Amino acid sequence: IYGYFDWDSYLKETGGEPAPASAFKQHPDPPANEFRLKMKLEAQDPRNPSSTCIATVVGIMGPRVQLRLDGSDNTNDFWEMIDSPSIKPVGHCQENGGMLQPPLGFRKNPSHWPMFVLNTLKDADIAPKNIFIHEPPSPSRNRFKIGMKLEAVDKKNPRLICPATVGSVTEDQIFVTFDGWKGAFDYWCKYDSRDIFPVGWCQKSGHPLQPPGDKTPFTPVRDKLLSSITTPGSVPLSIQCLPKTATINNGTPTSSKLKSKTNQF
């Protein structure tokens, strides 16, 4: 069966406890996905979030839909949870005094937009209101601890959800490190990010889970080894090639580092 990954034996081998379900901004039971291919809905343009556009479901995985903005090309597809507030039934925007906007990169003359909307929605398969699910509440505080295991969206390959470990924690953020990938895909996110899930979430929700990579993770031993080959005035190639996240992973997200710097002036 696709995407099957045995967390139990993996956790036995590698050690590490799963982060508790209460740490996540996710419904305890993943909602059933009743969206179907070709259904149309309203979605925020991820590249221009103040715009509400018409979108078509072009893919379905567990409680997520792959969306393509109507009038745009197929190179900017994105994934949304079916309980995301960024997607709404057709009509929602107007009912709230807004106006549907052409997506960034609308392929026609902007003056054709109103007609384009009419034609797009005529005879369309409109996603029914009742299949949109309310967003779950946020946990009251950051309950993550270093070393806890989770499942996380790979933001560089957003169709993938992969096994990960909490690498660092601040008051309101966590550093997501992907197991077996040396740091190239790691990122900081808020503790209530919708891109992170409890261990077992994929299996429970019918979403594929990528197995961990086969690259050895960064260990203090490896870091020591690398620094011991650094001679003053020269940077070894191995270090030049390191992903940025690995070299700045000292427990502080880059953005807050910048902020505290700025505050000094």
Q: How far is the CB of 159 from ligand MLZ (least distance, A)?
A: 10
C-beta of 175 vs 181, nearer to ligand MLZ: 181
Write the CB contacts of 192 (distance below 8 Å, at least 6 apart in sequence). 24, 25, 138, 139
Binding site for ligand MLZ (CB under 6 A): 154, 157, 160, 162, 178, 181, 185
The tokens for 17 are 């406890």
Select 53 or 162, whichever has its Cβ closest to ligand MLZ.
162
Q: Alpha-carbon distance 117 to 97, whole Å? A: 17
CB of 187 to ligand MLZ, least distance (A): 10
* Residue nearer to ligand MLZ on the CB measure, 59 or 213: 213
Closest distance of CB 198 from ligand MLZ, Å: 18
| Min dist. Cβ of residue 144 to ligand MLZ (A) | 19
Q: Quick one: 53 or 61, whose CB is closer to ligand MLZ?
A: 61
